[in-house]
């Protein structure tokens, strides 16, 4: 039987974000409660409970002093207010896709529009959406319910239409077509999560090719039940929550089985089900004759994988007993590449090892075995499967050259071209040397060529960060970012997967010719959002601080009537400009230079002269300052008398 695992199976972005956040809080020693089960997976919820996380049915059930996590389904506006009033802290893990629907619901209320919601009225996500509008709202589960509601009067009402993020795609398409024809003034928002849509589409494609679909997920999960519904349109489908629920009878006679999982299913549960299916396959394929004769009667041949018990450990080799009938030898070079390893410390007599048969010396009946070859073969198999499934792998960079990087993955050499090493062009990929990296396999053609991409993994992570950023960003919000590049007109700063521009005028209160006078590439800086262009996804940032504004310093430190000494910085026909503070110059009008008549300013002053002046007036709106030298002299003479 062939088993095909769906690429989209398992945690979606929103669920993974909520689970990671909760575990991080627990690991920090925080007292945490979730309003309702965090995800539709009893095993994950039970593990969190074992770590002290409280699952509360209502806000009042949350113990005093606990911090609350809002799960990815989101909550109504009223419930969120109750949480913030009761809890020590509230951590909002609402899925960005759900948060978007909340905003649409609030707009419907503000604009007095009817809100139509495609989904399950009893589902927490839908209840949360409904709780973000004060206007008229109707929830429908299918086309029939929508048609029943759509009287001529209702069809003429201005309306916003949204869908539960896990709503069945085919049902949504049917309802959308009806809405376009029946409603004269309706704005239809496609709010089904991209991951949900992709997961349902892949489930449909797999179902068309397979004799059986195994859908893994919580029995109460809407997402999982929709996958079962999609699969059963084309083939036989079974839903399981754990590997223990899958029986050999369900797999009997199946030639090809597809496996998918809901958005709340951890990868560990998926792997347990796959292992269970593999065990059943092995049990089914074991023939009656093999059961009678037993595998131990088979001769050991080159290429076999055998288990041997260590009988003796020497400095340069290990001797093992294979099934009590044959001796095997593992030479040091076939055990490890690490010359620092001591065999006597690495293995002990009586230990069982799984080994690859290199060859058998027939006359002596001794088998030459290798652990390295076994691990290499296993690694190649995992890398091959990862290439087919698009799975992200982790490896160590072992070599850097002009063409790119060499990464050791599961003992397999993978080449990453320079163009696939970094997210941005011209970034220095040599800094990755001897580092752990994540990559996907783009080309698998051993032994000649196995090619990977680090860039693709980084791009996917960046996409997720950008999506999360645009869901939470707002004007005035402060970020700590890293300067990524400089241009003549400003600095680009990475503030979490998105590059924002700090215009040169926003870098300093003083006039500067180039951003490098203030910041350099690689600097960590604190910036704030000045303006957003959501349509074009552009962010304008501010850097200079109000407290550094020299005009504010002037207001605080130099009251009208102040007398001080300052340098002359420029001369004009009508007077001299004096530097009070960096970026702030005041004018001594020609008539205020001396009590005696001055024909030319240059006859009395020159640039660089230190002069004593009195502050007469400041126009902060026009940025104009009036100073007087003769008034300063008069005041000093008065003080002397």
Average pLDDT value for residue range 185-189: 93
Residue 435 has pLDDT above 80, yes or no: yes
The reported pLDDT for the residue numbered 355 is 92
The reported pLDDT for the residue numbered 288 is 38
The reported pLDDT for the residue numbered 365 is 66
Is 80 known to be catalytic? Answer: no
The reported pLDDT for the residue numbered 291 is 42
Q: What does CATH list as the number for 96-192?
A: 3.40.1010.20
Instruction: Write down the domain spans for the chain.
Output: 13-92, 96-192, 195-288, 299-375, 392-459, 473-544, 557-640
CB 269 within 8 A of CB 217: no
Counting residues of the chain whose pLDDT is more than 70, the rounded percentage is 94
More confident: 294 or 28: 28
Instruction: Lowest mean pLDDT of 137-141, 491-495, 553-557, 577-581, name the range.
Output: 553-557
Q: Give me the chain's average pLDDT, please.
A: 87
Tokens of 557: 């430190």
CA 240 to chain centre: 29
Q: How confident is the model at residue 271 (pLDDT cuts 50, 70, 90)?
A: confident
Name beta bridge partners: 69: 34, 91
Q: What does CATH list as the number for 557-640?
A: 2.40.50.140
Residue 97 has pLDDT above 50, yes or no: yes
Q: How confident is the model at residue 287 (pLDDT cuts 50, 70, 90)?
A: very low
The reported pLDDT for the residue numbered 285 is 53
CA 619 to chain centre: 50
430-457 as b/e, with b when 16 or more CB fall inside 10 Å?
eebeeeebbbbbbebeeeeebbbbbbbb
Question: Longest C-alpha distance within the chain, in Å?
Answer: 126
- CATH architecture of residue range(s) 13-92: 3-Layer(aba) Sandwich (3.40)
Rg (CA), the chain: 36
Average pLDDT value for residue range 530-549: 84
Same fold: 299-375 with 557-640:
yes
Q: For 227-253, how does the pLDDT look when each residue is reduced to its tens digit (9 = 90+)?
A: 888 899 999 998 888 888 888 878 877
The reported pLDDT for the residue numbered 546 is 67
Query: What is the topology classification, in CATH, of domain 195-288?
Result: Cobalt-precorrin-4 Transmethylase; domain 1 (3.40.1010)
Average pLDDT value for residue range 318-338: 85
The reported pLDDT for the residue numbered 401 is 92
The reported pLDDT for the residue numbered 289 is 43
Residue 19 has pLDDT above 70, yes or no: yes
Average pLDDT value for residue range 292-296: 46
**In angstroms, how far is the first alpha carbon of the chain from the final one?**
111
Catalytic residue among 60, 64, 125, 517: 125
Instruction: Lowest mean pLDDT of 152-161, 190-199, 614-623, name the range.
Output: 190-199
Residue with tokens 């001369």: 571
The reported pLDDT for the residue numbered 363 is 54
Instruction: Lowest mean pLDDT of 6-15, 194-203, 209-218, 349-358, name the range.
Output: 6-15
Residue 23 has pLDDT above 60, yes or no: yes
Counting residues of the chain whose pLDDT is more than 90, the rounded percentage is 48
Edge-to-edge strand order for the sheet containing 54-56?
54-56, 32-35, 67-70, 90-92
Full DSSP string of 353-403: EEEEEEEEETTTTEEEEEHHHHHHHHHHHHHHHHHHHT--EEEEEEEEETT
Reported pTM? 0.40
Query: What is the topology classification, in CATH, of domain 299-375?
Result: OB fold (Dihydrolipoamide Acetyltransferase, E2P) (2.40.50)
Query: What is the topology classification, in CATH, of domain 392-459?
Result: OB fold (Dihydrolipoamide Acetyltransferase, E2P) (2.40.50)
Kindly tell me the burial class for residue 80, based on how many C-beta atoms sit within 10 Å of its own C-beta (0-12, 13-18, 19 or more): buried
Q: What CA–CA distance (Å, rounded) separates 233 from 203?
A: 11
Domain 473-544 bears CATH identifier 2.40.50.140: yes
The reported pLDDT for the residue numbered 595 is 87
Instruction: Lowest mean pLDDT of 124-133, 156-165, 242-251, 475-484, name the range.
Output: 242-251
Residue 290 has pLDDT above 90, yes or no: no
């Amino acid at each position: 039987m062939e088993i095909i695992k769906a690429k989209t199976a398992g945690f979606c972005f929103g669920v993974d974000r909520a689970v990671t956040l909760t575990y991080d809080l627990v690991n920090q020693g925080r007292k945490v409660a979730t309003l309702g089960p965090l995800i539709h997976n009893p095993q994950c919820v039970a593990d969190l409970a074992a770590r002290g996380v409280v699952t509360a049915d209502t806000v009042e059930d949350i113990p005093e002093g606990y911090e609350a996590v809002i799960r990815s389904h989101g909550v109504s506006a009223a419930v969120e207010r109750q949480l913030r009033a009761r809890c020590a802290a509230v951590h909002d893990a609402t899925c960005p896709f759900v948060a978007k629907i909340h905003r649409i619901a609030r707009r419907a209320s503000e604009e007095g529009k009817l809100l139509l919601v495609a989904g399950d009225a009893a589902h927490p996500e839908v209840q949360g959406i409904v709780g973000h509008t004060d206007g008229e709202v109707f929830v429908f589960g299918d086309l029939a319910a929508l048609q029943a509601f759509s009287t001529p009067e209702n069809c003429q009402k201005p309306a916003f239409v949204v869908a539960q993020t896990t709503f069945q795609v085919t049902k949504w398409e049917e309802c959308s077509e009806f809405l376009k024809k029946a409603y004269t003034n309706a704005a239809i928002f496609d709010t089904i999560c991209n991951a949900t849509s992709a997961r349902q589409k892949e489930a449909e494609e797999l179902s068309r090719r397979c004799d059986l679909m195994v859908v893994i997920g919580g029995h109460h999960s809407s997402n999982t039940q929709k996958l079962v519904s999609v699969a059963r349109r084309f083939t036989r489908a079974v839903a399981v929550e754990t590997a223990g629920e899958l029986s050999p009878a369900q797999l009997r006679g199946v030639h090809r089985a597809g496996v998918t999982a809901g958005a709340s299913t951890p990868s560990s549960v998926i792997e347990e089900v796959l292992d269970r299916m593999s065990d059943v396959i092995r049990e089914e394929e074991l023939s009656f004759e093999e059961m009678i004769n037993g595998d131990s009667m088979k001769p050991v041949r080159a290429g076999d994988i055998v288990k041997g018990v260590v009988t003796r450990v020497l400095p340069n080799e290990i001797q093992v007993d294979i099934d009590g009938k044959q001796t095997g030898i593992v030479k040091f070079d076939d055990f490890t590449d690490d010359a620092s390893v001591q065999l006597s410390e690495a293995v002990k007599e009586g230990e069982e090892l799984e080994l690859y048969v290199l060859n058998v010396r027939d006359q002596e009946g001794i088998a030459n075995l290798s652990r390295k070859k076994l691990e290499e073969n296993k690694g190649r198999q995992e890398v091959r499967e990862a290439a087919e499934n698009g799975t992200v792998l982790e490896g160590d960079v072992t070599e850097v050259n002009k063409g790119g990087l060499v990464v050791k993955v599961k003992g397999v050499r993978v080449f990453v071209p320079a163009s696939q090493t970094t997210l941005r062009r011209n970034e220095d990929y040599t800094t990755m040397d001897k580092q752990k990296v994540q990559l996907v396999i783009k080309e698998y053609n051993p032994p000649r060529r196995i090619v990977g991409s680090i860039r693709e993994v980084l791009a996917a992570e960046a996409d997720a960060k950008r999506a999360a950023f645009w869901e939470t960003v707002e004007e005035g919000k402060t970020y700590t970012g890293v300067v990524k590049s400089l241009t003549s007109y400003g600095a680009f700063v990475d503030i979490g997967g998105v590059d924002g521009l700090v215009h040169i005028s926003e870098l300093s209160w003083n006039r500067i010719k180039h951003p490098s006078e203030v910041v350099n590439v690689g600097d960590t800086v604190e910036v704030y959002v000045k303006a957003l262009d959501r349509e074009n996804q552009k962010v304008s940032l501010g850097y200079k601080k109000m407290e550094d504004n020299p005009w504010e310093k002037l207001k605080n430190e130099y009251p009208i009537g102040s007398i001080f000494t300052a340098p002359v910085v420029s001369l004009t026909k009508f007077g001299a400009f004096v530097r009070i503070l960096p970026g702030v110059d005041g004018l001594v009008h020609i008539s205020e230079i001396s009590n005696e008549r001055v024909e030319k300013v240059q006859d009395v002053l020159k640039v660089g002269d230190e002069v004593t002046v009195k502050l007469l007036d400041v126009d902060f709106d026009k940025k104009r300052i009036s100073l007087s030298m003769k008034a300063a002299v008069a005041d000093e003479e008065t003080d002397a008398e």
